[in-house]
Structure 1
Amino acid sequence: MQPAARMPPFGIASAVALVCGVTAVLLWPTVPSRVACVIALLAGLWMWWKAGRWRWTGALFVGLGLAGLHAAHTLSLQLPASLERKVVTITGTVDDLPEHEPRQTRFVFKVDDAPTQPDPLRGRRLRVSWADAGMTDRGSVQAGQRWRLAVRLKAPRGLRNPGGSDSEKHAFARRIAGNAQVRHPRKAVRLTEARGLQAWREGVSGRIAVAIPGDTSRFIRALAIGDTRAISDEDWTLLRANGLTHLIAISGSHVGLVGGFFALLAYGLWWLVPALARFAPRQVVAAVAATGGAVAYTAAAGFAVPTVRTALMIAAVSLALGARRRVSPFDTLALAVIAVLLYDPLSVLGAGFWLSFMGVAWLMWCLPQGGRQPVREFLSAQGVATIGLLPMAVLLFGQVSMAGPMANLVAVPWWSLVVVPLSLLGAALESLHAGLGTSPLRAAAWCFELSWPLFEWLGSSPFALWWVAESRWFALPLALLGAAWLLLPRGIPGKPLALLLWLPLLWPDRQLPAHGTAEVTVIDVGQGLSVMVRTAGHTLLYDMGPAMRDGFDAGERAVLPVLRARGVRRIDRAVVSHGDNDHAGGLETVRAAFPLPSLLAPEGVGLEGARDCVAGESWTWDGVHFRFLHPTPYFPYLANDSSCVLRVESRQGVLLLAGDIGDIIERQLVRRDPAALVAQVVVVAHHGSETSSDPAFVNATKARHAIVSTGYGNMFRHPRPGIVRRWRDAGATVWDTARTGAITFRLGETTLAPETRRQTHPRLWDAEQRLAQGRAGLSYRSD
């Protein structure tokens, strides 16, 4: 009888099980207890080593325990509620390349682990913002410097919306303990000059900028050392439209080029001096040299996941060569996955982890190794990457690049084989002495400029990007199954049927309201307002949130992602309640993405293409009636008090959008038409300030739900506690977007209970949950 085959300890099964264990913990809304994590980790290690063909279960338990311990430790490092909005003095090091913007500088700051620092902040990383307040010191901030700063602390909070990026997840994955705003900037003291790896990166970046005049230097800096600070939002939009974001920052292929170059140097040296083979075989030395070059370049790139993955794969091959063992490509990939996750389980929270490893896995599975038709295999690789990675790209980014396959056919060989090597050579020479790398850097810029007009043309096409609405949980597994089916060898029957498995992901149910009902989403835009109202066949957008001087644009960061996640194809009518920035700031961004055939605003607001909203004007969409209650005809423009007040009446429910009207206008509305104010849901005027929510108005609405749109920790302290009590005393449940994220409910259904983004999509890194525990007198505990 044959003995049971033993499963290799670091094979594909173990890698997949480890990924599943880590991902399961990080998708769970709460952290398991530390005791359970330690037990799972120890039991998993024993099973992984001893369980034979069942050792994959050990890898699964190791993933569960390790991810739980990392998550608990990372959360314990985050800013305690007791320090929220406190001003403290800290000393530490600029830990990343600072981002210099016109009105502020932002950088990661690692606080010294010393007794002189505030105890809850010792050794922790903060995201610091240094605003321009008439001083110049912020412009001299460089990576690797040590500073003493007075800062105001805030939890690492972010907006929570359908389709929007999760900045809280980003902070959690990067171990950012909190946000900080520099106070008393003239008292900031630079303690030491720049030094270390990050200082070297910034120095080389500056030399590249000097060597290459013009705008192209920003791309060469990104390709050479991963410095993407100068790449604008418009650049990223164009790169996403072309599917080229994986190339413009340092990717695994760049590390492979450097590793191959070092291997060739070692081969050449051993060929020139054959006597060296007495000390070490040429093949082993080349592998070690490739590993050393890959690791060095990975460090220069800031240890991004794609570079770490490639460096680990090269190291795995080198280890196998040193041990005189043959290792299959899949085992090499599995070893790299295991090494990355054991080093940092939280890396699964980044898109780069999934795209990097899945891309390589698809190519290994579908393409022959060592073929003799490089052009045909290159074209096949593009097809495999397009089909195989499309489901994950849709899940991660909510979009499909229709121009991507064609753009990559040009960019991959041209950039990887021409532009990148010249950029790397120039950067290496510049690191030795300023000016040495000027010629190769300018050659790289010239070669890059040759291809860029093609990508501008492709990316400007209206069909370049296809936005996809949010789908159900089962859509991704079905799409991956469909991709695997399509990529099976020729002759497999029923391949056209595989396309049906993509439908739930690419054409998801948009869950449109029934006739006579309306779906209302109060978008989390921070300190401002934006409300989307959908009927069975129409969409209305009321306000577009703020656009701030520091570069934050709610239209781009919140409103557009919600529209796209809900599958909105057009905006039939837009209303700007009044001209203040917190309501109208995002208008131009929204208008650039969605034509607005009908735009209404108060008379005198001065918006191009807008016509007046006037009390009494009404229309009906799909059984839902809309009517303006204010301003009256010929009402002078008085900013807040001129806000367009809109009543939305469905079959069984009414919504009242009050803009920023004050108590004087509210009392006028009560006297003029109190019956029109009765509504089940009211978006509270002026974000819950003391100048609004007049008692007579509050009582006249008879609201069941009062929604306040505010930014967390806003300087106006909205909503005011007295206003919240007033609405509650009148029988309404008060909801605040700062704590709940986006709020969605259906008008016209028997139940009106809103759904909040933080409730429907709970996350273990949720800052609001942790701060709520702190407000209740609780400290975070993982057990």
Structure 2
Amino acid sequence: MGLGCAAALLAGAVAGLFLPALPPAPLRWLALVAGVLAWTWPWRGRAAGALLVGVGWAGLHAGWALAAWLPPDLEAREVRVAGQVLGLPQHEARRTRFQFRVEGDDAPEPLRGRRLQLSWYDDFGAQEAGPRMALQPGARWEFQLKLRAPRGLANPGGFDAGRHALAQRIAATGYVRAPQLARELAPAAGIDAWRARMATRIEAAVPSPSSRFVRALALGDTRGLDDADWETLRAVGLTHLIAISGFHVGLVAGFFAWLAVVAWWLCPSLGRWWPRPQAAAVAAVLGAAGYAAVAGFALPTVRTLLMIAVVAGARLGRRPLGAWQALSLALAVMLLVDPLAVLQAGFWLSFAGVAWLVWCLPAQAGRRWLRDFLTAQGVATLGLLPLGAVLFLQASLAGPLANLLAVPWWSLVVVPLSLLGTGLEALHAGAGGWAWRAAAACFDPSWALFERMAASPLALWWLPEARAWALPLALFGAFWLLLPRGVPGWPLALLLWLPLLWPARELPRPGGVELHVLDVGQGLAVVVRSADHALLYDAGPAVRDGWDAGERAVMPALRALGIARLDRVVISHADQDHAGGWPAVRRGVPVDASLAPAGAPVDVQGACEAEQGWTWDGVRFGFLHPPPHFPYLRNEASCVLRIESPHGVVLLPGDIGEVVERRLLREPAALRADVVVVAHHGSDGSSSAGFVAATGARLALVAAGHGNRFGHPREAVVRRWQRHGAEVLATPRSGAIRVWLDADGLAVRERRAWRSRSWHPDDPPL
């Protein structure tokens, strides 16, 4: 259980989970059994055994979790199930999101005992919000559900929903059908119900808007924080503090240990029954466990609880245990209990942060508390910057200063007051209000300061997506920089950071063009780059439940591609599946010019018209449709953009139908193209035989949502393009599709195949 074996166990778990596909189950079992034998045998190769255990154990857990995912025959079917609400439901204006565990023998066998991620919408107007808002944690309900296996979008810089579902053991996602038929079977009960009641009391006792932060710090309840709050926290690097963090658990554990020491000091006779050091150790574990339960056993709290338990166990066994041994034991126990934890960003930040501090801080830390505190902040900032850059594609330049202020003030003033209020309220209703209000009053000035810091353009630095090998180089660079003073060549360590902080953007050469058809569900968003310019054609959908492709897919992709400014945005027409994400894009990135069809209800600067054109870096851009004075007819008024480079032509036809296609066929030479984004997502009303033949495309790209209710792309349309010699790729199967047209010819990269993982589904070919 030493450091070497713990590191080998971690390496094995990572290798077992991040393979393109899981090895067969017999091989996973073989690796586990052989690894256990090699790990426990008294020889020098124990680390190799730990590595095999990591591969086999993590692979088996992943296989079991994936086998529990909803089978295809239950997708798109309505099922009626009963079960219990897990965690704290998140109530929004038109939707409630919550996790649900299926119980009872009446449910379909593949769903029994499974965890589901559900949404409950107000499909029947505001008068139906009452039952939805009454949903409480721990309550048992019966629902009519429509489910599907976990699946997310695949874009540069995007959130991997499949990975998240696997780490959380979520078997299916879905929504409540026929909300009027939902009924409560049993009232709320359990620790989460208590947390919800306490959150309600905090909201009632603290009239300040800061009550949402008091709830987060006292209970780990972040439901009250909106997107603007999270943006501020990310900009100043304080997301690790706003919910219950491992440091806060350590404070509570230390307080309980201190109480035990005081009790043994006041009553020395207790030492006859139990030595004071052992009593303090048990009290620390009990306090940490109680606080972790209040926080819903979030990963940082569990990690800290494990470390405290390891140290306490060593104290009870009267065995000395160093910091590295405690960290190694906690890491090994965490991986053995839940090897899928390595799929979560919090795992890496938690253990890496502690490891950097243990390695860098002197053993006699604490004698000069101010110097030690500043050193710890510097070590954490420098050591965790590479991980933050890879996990979140961002770096907070204001983070070090914000943490210098927030760590002592929030952790030593605001959090203790919040916890004191919670403890008093648990003893007597109404007794904790004054402490909660004091916590809010202490929090308010600091939050106002951090909001001003976050508003600075220098607060947050978005980073392009780097290659996989850039992370180990940057970590080695951080290790080099943190070596003791006197080690030569430390300025050279900064060079090792360059591939991570300034990665190659793979821009086209002059005359070349690059196309990114993003995976935005049932909608369209295309990023076009030349050597020195960038254009966005459509911005994806925004739907009534609050999901906005502009915010969730387009903006992360632009940041991952290193695009800090858009030279032009073209909104093909005003339908929500094409224009819904435009407001979020306009807020998130500077745009020099924006165009849409004349008469379209879209806030843009000008109109697209046939014969308009411009040239960037040797690439000619021009519109083929609509002509001047063409009425706005939604799909039929779509801006049809032709992009011509010396190496090939790209055609973006929006959602035009056969009527406009016949009009464009009057000039068939203008339709010749190597790459075509198939009109109207591959519907029957577009891609007529004459239009397809006129393009002569080698590559036809379809942007559509997986399992969409329209059946896009239609099989007949796919076959038509294929009969005319085009390879057809679709975002539901490929994810984001990247296309190059340059002197080397035509090249394609499919995101899902390029970043293939075991949790990515294998869809049948088109």
- Per the TM superposition, whether the score is higher than 0.5 is yes
**Structure 1 Cα separation of the partners of residues 449 and 376 of structure 2:** 21
Which residue of structure 2 aligns with residue 628 of structure 1? 623
Kindly provide the amino acid, as one letter, of the partner of residue 252 in structure 2: V
Report the CA distance between 1:706 and its aligned residue.
1.3
Cα displacement string for residues 578-628 of structure 1 (whole angstroms, at most 9, x for unaligned residues): 111111111111111211111111111243342111101111111111110
Q: Does 2:743 match 1:752?
A: no
Report the CA distance between 1:40 and its aligned residue.
1.4
**Structure 2 Cα separation of the partners of residues 426 and 570 of structure 1:** 47
Query: Match for 2:48 among 23, 45, 57?
Result: 57
Query: Match for 1:523 among 518, 527, 530?
Result: 518
**Structure 2 Cα separation of the partners of residues 138 and 608 of structure 1:** 35
Report the CA distance between 1:752 and its aligned residue.
2.5
1:163/1:398 contact within 8 Å kept: yes
Q: Does 2:88 match 1:94?
A: no
Which residue of structure 2 aligns with residue 663 of structure 1? 658
Query: Match for 1:605 among 600, 607, 611?
Result: 600
Q: Report the 3-state secondary structure (helix = DSSP H, G, I; strand = E; otherwise coil) of the residue aligned with 2:269.
A: helix
Q: Report the 3-state secondary structure (helix = DSSP H, G, I; strand = E; otherwise coil) of the residue aligned with 1:222.
A: helix
1:653/1:749 contact within 8 Å kept: no
Kindly provide the amino acid, as one letter, of the partner of residue 514 in structure 2: E
Which residue of structure 2 aligns with residue 336 of structure 1? 330
Return the TM-score normalized by structure 2.
0.98
**Structure 2 Cα separation of the partners of residues 656 and 449 of structure 1:** 53
Report the CA distance between 1:751 and its aligned residue.
4.2
Which residue of structure 2 aligns with residue 3 of structure 1? none
Kindly provide the amino acid, as one letter, of the partner of residue 680 in structure 1: D
Which residue of structure 2 aligns with residue 478 of structure 1? 473
Report the CA distance between 1:200 and its aligned residue.
1.6
Which residue of structure 1 aligns with residue 6 of structure 2? 15
Q: Report the 3-state secondary structure (helix = DSSP H, G, I; strand = E; otherwise coil) of the residue aligned with 2:83.
A: strand
- Segment drifting more, 713-722 vs 134-143: 713-722
Report the CA distance between 1:198 and its aligned residue.
1.6
**Structure 2 Cα separation of the partners of residues 370 and 418 of structure 1:** 26
Kindly provide the amino acid, as one letter, of the partner of residue 738 in structure 1: P
1:208/1:430 contact within 8 Å kept: no
1:422-441 map, 5 Å: 422-441=417-436
The number of residue pairs the alignment matches comes to 761
**Structure 1 Cα separation of the partners of residues 80 and 743 of structure 2:** 53
Which runs of no fewer than 5 residues in structure 1 stay unpaired?
1-9, 777-783
Which residue of structure 1 aligns with residue 444 of structure 2? 449
Kindly provide the amino acid, as one letter, of the partner of residue 292 in structure 2: T
1:135-154 map, 5 Å: 135=128, 136-154=130-148
Report the CA distance between 1:213 and its aligned residue.
1.6
2:647/2:745 contact within 8 Å kept: no
Kindly provide the amino acid, as one letter, of the partner of residue 634 in structure 2: A
Q: Report the 3-state secondary structure (helix = DSSP H, G, I; strand = E; otherwise coil) of the residue aligned with 2:665.
A: helix
Report the CA distance between 1:701 and its aligned residue.
0.9
1:338-487 map, 5 Å: 338-371=332-365, 372-487=367-482
Q: Does 2:119 match 1:129?
A: yes
Query: Match for 1:647 among 635, 642, 649?
Result: 642
Which residue of structure 1 aligns with residue 67 of structure 2? 76
- Segment drifting more, 146-155 vs 600-609: 600-609
Report the CA distance between 1:722 and its aligned residue.
2.1
Kindly provide the amino acid, as one letter, of the partner of residue 18 in structure 2: L
Report the CA distance between 1:695 and its aligned residue.
1.8
**Structure 1 Cα separation of the partners of residues 42 and 461 of structure 2:** 47
2:509/2:742 contact within 8 Å kept: no
Q: Does 2:689 match 1:698?
A: no
Cα displacement string for residues 672-717 of structure 1 (whole angstroms, at most 9, x for unaligned residues): x111101111111111122221221111111121111111122222
Kindly provide the amino acid, as one letter, of the partner of residue 495 in structure 2: L
Which residue of structure 2 aligns with residue 186 of structure 1? 180
2:208/2:440 contact within 8 Å kept: no
**Identical aligned pairs, as a percentage?**
57
- Segment drifting more, 568-577 vs 415-424: 568-577
2:508/2:742 contact within 8 Å kept: no
Q: Report the 3-state secondary structure (helix = DSSP H, G, I; strand = E; otherwise coil) of the residue aligned with 2:88.
A: coil
Q: Does 2:213 match 1:219?
A: yes
1:402/1:463 contact within 8 Å kept: yes
Report the CA distance between 1:107 and its aligned residue.
0.7
Report the CA distance between 1:83 and its aligned residue.
0.8
Alpha carbon RMSD of aligned pairs, Å? 1.3
2:596/2:604 contact within 8 Å kept: no
Report the CA distance between 1:670 and its aligned residue.
0.6
**Structure 2 Cα separation of the partners of residues 410 and 393 of structure 1:** 20
Which residue of structure 2 aligns with residue 4 of structure 1? none
Kindly provide the amino acid, as one letter, of the partner of residue 718 in structure 2: V
Which runs of no fewer than 5 residues in structure 2 stay unpaired?
none
**Structure 1 Cα separation of the partners of residues 42 and 609 of structure 2:** 75
Report the CA distance between 1:441 and its aligned residue.
0.5
Q: Does 2:27 match 1:36?
A: yes
Report the CA distance between 1:750 and its aligned residue.
4.5
1:348/1:354 contact within 8 Å kept: yes
Which residue of structure 2 aligns with residue 534 of structure 1? 529
1:127/1:178 contact within 8 Å kept: yes
1:699/1:730 contact within 8 Å kept: yes
Cα displacement string for residues 510-547 of structure 1 (whole angstroms, at most 9, x for unaligned residues): 11111111010001111111100101111011111111
Kindly provide the amino acid, as one letter, of the partner of residue 95 in structure 2: Q
Kindly provide the amino acid, as one letter, of the partner of residue 226 in structure 2: S
**Structure 2 Cα separation of the partners of residues 318 and 476 of structure 1:** 35
Report the CA distance between 1:720 and its aligned residue.
1.9
Report the CA distance between 1:301 and its aligned residue.
1.0
Kindly provide the amino acid, as one letter, of the partner of residue 21 in structure 1: G
Which residue of structure 1 aligns with residue 546 of structure 2? 551
- Segment drifting more, 441-450 vs 41-50: 41-50
